[in-house]
Structure 1
Amino acid sequence: MESQFRFTHPLYKILGMLYLLIIVGYLLLRSNNLSYSDVKLVSKTTRSRVSLKPELQKYFVKTSKCQIPFVDPFNDEVMKIYKPQTLVRCSNESDLIWTEYNKNIKRHVLHIDDEVAFKLLNNTESEYNCFYQEIKYGNSADTYDNLGLKKYFTNGYVVPLHVEGLIVECQTAEDPKVVLQKDAFMFIQYRPLPKDLNQPRSARKPSVIMYGIDSLSRINLRRTMPKVFNFLQGPGWYEMQGYNKVADNSFPNILAILSGYSISAAREQVCDTDVKGCLDDMPMIWKYFKNASYLTGYAEDESDSNHFNYMRPGFTRKPMDYYFRPMLRALESEMDVYRLPEHDYMRYCLGRRIANRYIYNYGRQFAQRFVHERPIWGMFWSNHFSHDDTFMPSSMQEKVLGDLLDFHEDGDFEEMIMIFFADHGTRFGELTTLKEGFLEERLPMMFIYLPPWFRETYPSYAQALELNQHRLSSNYDLHNTLKHIVEIGGIPDGPELPKSFDCPTCQSLFYPLPEDRTCSQAGIVDHWCTCEPYLLLKDQEWTEPIAHSVIDRMNEYFVQKNLSKLCSNLTLNYIHKTEIKTGLDVNWYDEIKEVETSVYRIKFKVEQNSADFQATVVYNNSTQKAEVDVEKISRTNSYKEDSTCIDDKLAKLYCICFSDLKS
């Protein structure tokens, strides 16, 4: 009787029902897509999975011809210098003016918050007025015209369709007028579908959004943005752990992705990217997408460091359907600008907002307006919080995670392929001096997301991407993949698009990469290649002739470029370290004594302004002559104050101007 009572008592029936409801609720949560509410649950489970990787994973890539060692992002050496950053806010005030997109009328609406106004008016009922000025495109692709006339507006004002940017201001009604708040808003205005896109298509076309962060390696992403990294472990995401950059800084790496050309090949085959009008003529990837009926968009957050304008001529014609640069120039000119004291080059705040918030809000609007109606391609890039401070991405972690979650909540991931990527890793600073600094610089993050319908329709492409995660890949492969996406859903049996010019052996990542792939087959020259280990030489004095020979080549370079009257001859100060290239059967972390060989990697400092360089050298020990491509030598500390006397973009890395010499 006692046993029967224990299991039939009404209290136990209630507990049983509750338990059953909990199980059902859990299964329902698992079957639904992620939302803000269940991110914590997923983060917790993925964190436990990810935290095991540093212990279990030894290589990013381990094939017969390429071994890229895995780097623990929290190893003892790096933790001595790692300083997580705190987010600096641009304003602590609540928004007096905010915008809403009305889906019914497909228009943007301005709202005014009376409660915020009451506080800004010192808790009085004083009258105030709000005005806006339109930001207008200028005569060239890269400029804006003067702001339009001030126009008065009230709460619920519907923004005219032709307006793409506004500067807004509310001020007291009585003299002397006091500005309560000034702000700026950018708009992606809706465009109806063209008639031809209303017709049935042969195949569904995936949209593509490229979300880029400057100077962020896959190692530093794990270190500074672990929550973002956890999100990127979800279903449909693929990390290209063998992705290796092909050039030094931003422009050549981005050019390789977007055009399939290196700077030198473009000069020989198409045009000189230093000459005005060339960038308009280059066969950029967005032109192929546009020809395939895609709507195109592009935005960056720092006009002085824009990929196409930093020491480049920019565009003479508007390159995309939605091009943010003129709006950015207006923001930088018309709004209060704040730069972080320790990083005074980049603009951090534009008015009340962090600079990159305009960029990714623009990208989100672009997706919201169109991704569920038509195919789109867009690239949205941020420089200012990652370029000058290796660890500042840690302060932006919640913002970036929020961006990805917003795309998810909007349902955009159901329609689009996302490429979450960087141009290169950290090129300057303390991180480059560590043992893994060589890898930090050369291994930018690269994640590719495929929506569920795409994985179901093209299972072989998803399987190839899964396989290619741990094989060597490069910018040129990504270029070919973008071309492949253009071809998907195109004309049946139509002509294949031209693949990357500079790498005939590169391919789409939707096909399996060769297991025995080498750097040369991926279009990666020896100086940037991370496939083969270089082991440290203990006797650095023995390697001084190598450094002297490299410096001789650099001084000869100044003569060849007719720069010897402007640039000082370089002389050796000391050698940081010299490493020797070995076979794949040698452990990366071993140390060896002097060995007679032909390929070295040497990092040294010159006397002139304490400039640091790193070179990959073929050195003949008998003749004591170095074979080195000077324009492939890395400058590993800042050079912006050393070469103000010349404009040559490559020579600036190596030139120490007589006029800039420090005592």
Structure 2
Amino acid sequence: MDKNIAGTLKIRLTYIFSQRHDKAEDCINVCKIPKLDVYNPGIRYKIGEIELKCKNKASFTFENGHRLEINWTAVRLSNVSSTFSSCTYQPIIRPVSVPNHNFFQYGPESAQFYLSVNISDEFIRVKCFDKTNTVIYTNFHQFVFQKPDVERRCNKAFKEHSGNPAIKEKLNVILLGTDSISRLQSVRSLKRTRAYLHEVLEAFELTMYNKIGDNTFPNIAALTLGKFVEEIPYNESYRHVPFDKHNFIWKQFSAKGYRSLYIEDRSGTFDYMMAGFHSYPSDYYNRHFFMAMKEEKSVWNTDDLCMMDRLETGMVLDYAAKFVRLQQNSPYFAFSFATTLTHDEFYHAQYADLPLLNFIRELHEDQLLNNTLLIVFSDHGIRIGNYRNTYEGMMEERLPMMHLVFPKWFKEKYPLYSKNLKLNTKRLTTPFDIYETLRDVLNFDDKIFQRKGYKNRGISLFREIPKERTCKDAGIAPHWCTCVEHTVVNTSDNTIIFLSDFLVRSLNRKLSNVQDKCEVLALEEIRHASKVQISESVLETRKRKVKPQAHYQIKIKTKPGGALFEATIFYDERFHFRRLDGDISRINKYGNQASCISENHELEKYCLCRK
């Protein structure tokens, strides 16, 4: 058993719902989440307020409105100042519909320019030359323009939508997502952003926001489609099928006349080992821009987090900000998600603090959030690494950050909704609830209290979420549920050995179709085991008797390869019945160990390729 886990479990007897403990709310909630130390001794000294500085020197070119200009100060300070000649650019093009989500091509090269040039393309690659016509500089730039066809369609649809007397409000929406940041990680690492959200914007923070799936894909699918992955439907047999036909929340807003933006960095929630979108999923979309940059290896630096002198996450936020400014007098829905900076890198979260703060502060100070719902969120906490291998890390992985900022006038005009939003900050919530809330924002009428969510699973935050809500009610599998108490069980216990053997066999069954490529796994060590129990208050509330059935959470190490796996297993001792309840988590890094099945997203975390 891990010593650090055993030590922390001894003191996890109280509960937390916010940074300031609320005993009154604690008494009435059925779901009780174990109290966690925001600054546990293993990490406190490594967290600071740090800005990541890109290693590359200042760019020779920069955007100024719809013009691209040469930064002659940067040129003169460079080692090519005496030989610098001129620059050209090429548009980066992707047809509106193409059967390859990673497709891009370059258009014709422009005429040479020496000072500046007007740009009419959304995305461009620029190259500069010396006097021998040798390329000495490459960079990428993005611009945002009004699109006449989008304007015509949206104006017509919004006129019809706003003409409906039942619709009382028409808020814009900005979804601002950053990968792998738990709520407590945001307390540690996004100090300036949190301070601004809470002290200036009076954000509603969901302190019991629980993820519903392992990685980014199922949690973003729940937030934007209101469904589990299997309900979409999606599994590995669909990995070559694009997501174009699905009615994402931004498409629902678009159908009512809202201009839509969907932007991510190189990773892509619906692109990694999947088919992505073959048609533009939104009015403004930039995957081909990031694919073009990805292929230009020479422009990346600082552990591939920077493109020239700009942080990639900053480029995502910059494009989103340009879109908001362009559409400030029109209804819009913007979805932005940045992955590469913080994905599976615990200490990188602090690098996102200043970019997020600047984005939010500049929009607020320019009065661009006055009619907008701003949601600042993450998909899950850190999933892999040393911190994830602790009890705190396991819990934080399941509790991502979620903030909602409504305009001040909205909260004053609708005090009941504001009251419920405040109550719900200390109730068990999920991505399904955010989806239902967004549907109510779009259809803001008198039926908010009568409207039912998909399969009655999600509950709009405008309604009070019941204090009796359980993980089962909310659609959270036992493996991801944080409304539990963990009782340590000796790893030499016969039941734990029995269940660990079952877990290894379950892993090998998953790999059965690729056994010619992947090693057969065997148990090397049982690292930790606990009995997962519903809290006493739940048992008292529901007046249930204790049954010979229980959930166990088990962490094992397998060989060959040294993989660490964690799973929650339901066990009925009367019949020796065992069942996996939820996913199997891989909690240490696996790098290129599964390169032999690199197109199989579902199995890569389990596979160790045969040599």
Return the TM-score normalized by structure 2: 0.85
Match of 1:423 in 2: 379
Mapped partners of 2:186, 2:603: distance in 1: 31
Shift of 1:250: 0.9
CA distance in 1, matches of 2:535, 2:360: 38
Aligned to 1:97: 61
Confirm or deny: 8 A CA contact 2:38 2:188 kept in the other structure. yes
Of 495, 515, 520, 1:569 maps to 520
Q: Distance in 1 between matches of 2:522 and 2:24?
A: 38
Which residue number in structure 1 is paired with residue 501 of structure 2? 548
Aligned to 2:285: 323
- The Cα RMSD (Å) is 3.1
- Are the counterparts in 1 of residues 491 and 497 from structure 2 also a CA contact under 8 Å? no
> Residue 626 and residue 550 in structure 1: after superposition, are their counterparts in 2 closer, same or farther (change >3 A)?
farther
Give the Cα–Cα distance (whole angstroms) in 1 for the partners of residues 24 and 594 of structure 2.
39
Q: Distance in 1 between matches of 2:577 and 2:302?
A: 46
Offset at residue 246 of structure 1 (A): 0.5
SS in 2 for 1:653: coil
| Closer/same/farther in 2, CA of residues 498 and 128 from structure 1, 3 Å limit | farther
Listed as ranges, the matches of 1:244-323 within 5 Å are 244-267=210-233, 274-302=238-266, 305-323=267-285
**Equivalent residue, structure 1, for 2:421:** 465
Contact 1:431 1:437 in 2 (8 A): yes
1:75-90 correspondence runs (5 A): 75-79=40-44, 82=46, 84=48, 87-90=51-54
The answer on whether the counterparts of 1:277 and 1:316 sit within 8 Å (CA) in structure 2 is no
CA distance change for structure 1 residues 557 and 204 in 2, over 3 Å: closer, same or farther? closer
Partner of 1:645, secondary structure, is helix
- Mapped contact 1:506–1:521 kept (Cα < 8 A): no
Q: What is the letter of the counterpart of residue 189 of structure 1?
A: F
Between 181-190 and 437-446, the greater mean CA deviation after superposition: 181-190
Equivalence map 1:601-620=2 (5 Å): 601-620=553-572
CA distance, structure 2, for counterparts of residue 153 and residue 528 of structure 1: 56
Instruction: Find the counterpart in structure 2 of residue 207 from structure 1.
Output: 172
1:218 aligns with 2:183: yes
Moved more, 148-157 or 375-384: 148-157
Question: What is the Cα deviation at residue 84 of structure 1?
Answer: 4.9
Deviation at 1:291, TM superposition (A): 0.8
Q: Does the CA-based 8 Å contact 2:59-2:309 persist in structure 1?
A: no
Structure 1's unaligned 5+ residue stretches are: 1-51, 102-107, 342-346, 588-594
Partner of 1:453: 409
Change (3 A) 1:198 1:479: closer
Residue type matched to 2:466 in 1? P
| 2:117 alignment partner in structure 1 | 157
Deviation sequence 1:39-69 (CA, Å, 0-9, x none): xxxxxxxxxxxxx975746899764420013
Query: Aligned pair in 2 of structure 1 residues 225, 640: CA closer, same or farther (>3 Å)?
Result: same
Question: Is 1:516 aligned to 2:481, yes or no?
Answer: no
- The one of 208, 213, 231 equivalent to 2:196 is 231
Larger RCO, structures 1/2 (Cα 8 Å, 6+ apart): 2
Distance 1:557 1:59 in 2: 46
8 Å CA contact 1:133, 1:150 repeated in 2: yes
Question: Per-residue displacement from partner, 1:324-371 (whole Å, max 9, x unpaired)?
Answer: 101111222246243555xxxxx3222332212221100000100103
Instruction: Give distance in 2, aligned partners of 1:281 and 1:167.
Output: 31
1:574-622 Cα offsets, whole Å, 9 max, x none, are 11111112342399xxxxxxx9762211111112211111111122446
For the residues of structure 2 that align with 1:339 and 1:128, how far apart are their CA atoms? 25
CA contact (8 A) 2:378 2:401 kept: yes
Match for 2:375: what amino acid? I
Code of the residue aligned with 2:316 in structure 1: it is I
- 3-state SS of paired residue (2:93): coil
Which residue pairs with 1:381 in the alignment?
Answer: 337
Whether the 8 Å CA contact 2:50–2:350 is kept in 1: the answer is yes
> How far off is 1:187 after superposition?
0.8
- Relative to structure 1, the CA distance from residue 61 to residue 91 in structure 2 (aligned partners, 3 Å threshold; closer, same or farther) is farther
CA deviation vs aligned residue, 1:543-569 (integer Å, no higher than 9, x gap): 32221232233334444xx34444433
1:623 Cα deviation after fit? 5.4
Could you say what secondary structure the match of 1:638 adopts?
coil
Q: Tell whether the 8 Å contact from 2:265 to 2:339 is kept in structure 1 after alignment.
A: yes
Q: 1:308/1:190 Cα in 2 relative to 1: closer, same or farther (>3 Å)? A: same
Q: Contact between 2:553 and 2:568, CA under 8 Å: does it hold in 1?
A: yes
Deviation at 1:255, TM superposition (A): 0.9
CA distance in 2, matches of 1:605, 1:60: 39
Q: What is the SS of the residue equivalent to 1:76?
A: coil
* Unmatched 5+ stretches in structure 2: 1-16, 539-546
**Of 49, 65, 88, which residue of structure 2 is paired with 1:131?**
88
- Give, in whole Å, the separation in 1 of the partners of 2:159 and 2:226: 32
Q: Is the alpha carbon distance of 1:575 and 1:272 closer, same or farther for their aligned partners in structure 2, counting shifts above 3 Å?
A: closer
Structure 2 counterpart of 1:476, which letter?
Answer: F
The structural deviation recorded for 1:460 is 2.1
Q: Which residue of 1 aligns with 2:586?
A: 635
CA contact (8 A) 2:483 2:534 kept: no
Aligned mates of 2:342, 2:27 — CA distance in 1: 29
CA displacement, residues 157-214 of structure 1 (integer Å, 9 cap, x when unaligned): 3322xx1012223434x336573x4432101112465454579755441111111111
Match of 1:120 in 2: 78
Aligned runs of 1:394-405 on 2, under 5 Å? 394-405=350-361
Distance between the aligned counterparts of 1:642 and 1:423, measured in 2?
A: 25
Q: Residue 644 in 1 paired to residue 574 in 2?
A: no
Q: Quote the Cα distance in structure 2 between the aligned partners of 1:335 and 1:653.
A: 27
Which AA in structure 2 matches 1:572?
L
Shift of 1:488: 2.1
1:370 equivalent to 2:330? Answer no
Note if contact 2:260-2:284 (Cα within 8 Å) is conserved in structure 1.
Answer: yes
The Cα of 1:572 is off from its aligned counterpart by: 1.5
TM-score (norm 1): 0.79
Q: What's the CA shift for 1:416?
A: 1.0
Aligned pairs, how many?
571
Go from structure 1 to structure 2 and tell me whether the alpha carbon gap of 1:322 and 1:274 turns closer, same or farther (over 3 Å shift). Answer: same
Does residue 74 in structure 1 map to residue 74 in structure 2?
no
What CA deviation, in whole Å up to 9, does each residue of 1:510-566 have, x standing for no partner?
11101100111111111100011112225644432221232233334444xx34444
CA deviation profile, 1:225-277 (whole Å, cap 9, x unmatched): 21222122134411111110000011111111111122212228xx9882544
Identify if the C-alpha distance between structure 1 residues 93 and 432 changes in structure 2 by more than 3 Å, giving closer, same or farther.
closer
Q: Call closer, same or farther: CA 1:144–1:648 in 2, change over 3 Å.
A: closer
Which whole-Å deviations, capped at 9, do the CAs of 1:408-432 have from their partners, x for residues lacking one?
2222211211111111111110111
Q: In 2 relative to 1, CA 61–448 (structure 1 residues): closer, same or farther, beyond 3 Å?
A: farther
- Counterpart contact for 1:596–1:621, Cα < 8 Å: yes
Task: Find the aligned partners of 2:480 and 2:92 in 1 and give their Cα distance.
Answer: 43
1:392 Cα deviation (Å)? Answer: 0.9
Of the structure 1 ranges 281-290 and 58-67, higher mean CA displacement relative to structure 2 is found in 58-67
Given the superposition, is the C-alpha separation of residues 609 and 282 from structure 1 closer, same or farther in structure 2, using an over 3 Å criterion?
same
The AA in structure 2 aligned to 1:547 is: S
Larger radius of gyration between Structure 1 and Structure 2: 1
Equivalent position of 1:35 in the other structure: none
Percent of paired sites with the same residue = 26
1:638–1:130 distance in 2 versus 1, CA, 3 Å: same
User: Matched residue of 1:152: which SS?
Assistant: coil
Q: Which has the larger displacement, 57-66 or 606-615?
A: 57-66
Native 8 Å contact 1:546 1:625 kept in 2 = no
